[in-house]
Structure 1
Amino acid sequence: MNKKFLLVMLVLSAIVAAFYAYLGGFSSAKVSEVNSEQLYIAGRAFKGSVTDNLLNDNFRRAAEVLDKNELEGGMLGNIYYNNPEGRADSVNAFIGVIIPDSSVQLPADYELRVVPGGRRALRGEVNAHYMLAPNKLYEAIFDYAKEKNLELETFYVEWFPEDHQGIVEVPIKE
């Protein structure tokens, strides 16, 4: 019985590790200093508790907008006005879809926000599923900023061009 249990646990561990690897769990983020580009984000604002169902509704709505092709050429994208990796219970965010330009017809429940370009920023990139990417990206960006003695603004833009790719940009305080 002990040998069977050990074998089953070994097989289950291998499956979990393979799935984690498939999601990009073993990928590391690359951080670089860039000049940010202007981005257009269509979405919905949220300010409140991280446990509020409305936050999850906004994420689901963004996925639905993409699935139903309500915004052509878009990709998941968010703006955070406070540190999303902080341990606070509240979040101030704009959850939605990055679109190619401001001329796109928006769904009725969406508004447009423009992220200005031309700012010095740290950009983190990782090849990992959007469920794993943010943790890897923020940790790498904060580590890089600390190592280079850079102070960051509390304005975070993240987007996911593909299922297994995540990008975060944070402006550097001048």
Structure 2
Amino acid sequence: MNRIFLLLSLFLIVAVAVAYYYLGGFKKAEVKLETTAQPIFVAGRYFEGPANSEAFGDLTREAYQIRTSGKLRGTFGNIFYNDPAKASETAKVFVGLIVDDTVSQALPQGYRYRTFAGGQRVLHAQIEASYLVAPDKLYTGVKDAAKTQGLTLQNVFLERFPTSGPVEVWAAVK
């Protein structure tokens, strides 16, 4: 009986490790210090409150639905105005879609534009991983790079979650 439980436990551990591997959990984020060439436009809505709240989830689902319905062309993205690691307490985030410009598409009702400024120094992190594990890897990479390079984060972060390709974070630095 104990052998069955041992074998079942080992099988479960291996299955979880394989799933984590396929999600990209063992990869490290690639982080570079850059200067943004041009502004990045995000169309969406502002949210302030706990990141695990229903309202935050509703905004995320709304942005996903707007993109999939074709009402607005873009890539899912957020601008955090505080440390996302502390967002479970109070997130200050603009949730929406990263768009090419502010004139070629009509905004859905209630949506506004926000800009992640061009010409600013940022730590740009990217990783080929699932959105389930990527944020933790990206933010850990950004914080480690900032510490290593003696940079101070400004607590303004742009996240980009494309349907294919690497997940990215730009973190403004002083």
TM-score by length of structure 2 reads: 0.91
Deviation at 1:35, TM superposition (A): 1.2
For 1:23 and 1:131, the matched residues in 2 are separated by 8
Query: Are 1:152 and 2:153 counterparts?
Result: yes
| Contact 1:130-1:163 within 8 A present in 2 as well | no
For residues 28 and 115 of structure 1, the distance between their equivalents in structure 2, rounded to whole angstroms, comes to: 25
Query: Larger deviation: 5-14 or 55-64?
Result: 5-14
Q: Which runs of 5+ in 1 are unaligned?
A: none
Match in the other structure for 2:130: 129
Cα offset for 1:49?
2.4
Identity %: 36
Question: What does residue 54 of structure 1 align with?
Answer: 55
RMSD: 1.6
> For 1:23-75, what per-residue CA distance to the aligned partner results, in whole angstroms no more than 9, with x for missing partners?
11111101101111311111111012234311111111122122222212x11
Displacement of 1:134 in angstroms is 1.0
Q: Who is 1:170 aligned against? A: 171
Is 1:19 equivalent to 2:19 in the alignment? yes
**For 1:16 and 1:154, how far apart are their aligned partners in 2?**
33
Distance 1:61 1:87 in 2: 20
| Aligned CA distance change for structure 1 residues 25 and 163 (closer, same or farther; 3 Å) | farther
Alignment of 1:94-133 (within 5 A): 94-103=94-103, 104-133=105-134
How many residue pairs were aligned?
Answer: 172
Q: TM-score, normalised by structure 1?
A: 0.91
- The runs of at least 4 consecutive aligned structure 1 residues that moved more than 6 Å come to none
Q: Residues of 2 paired with 1:16 and 1:70: CA distance?
A: 38
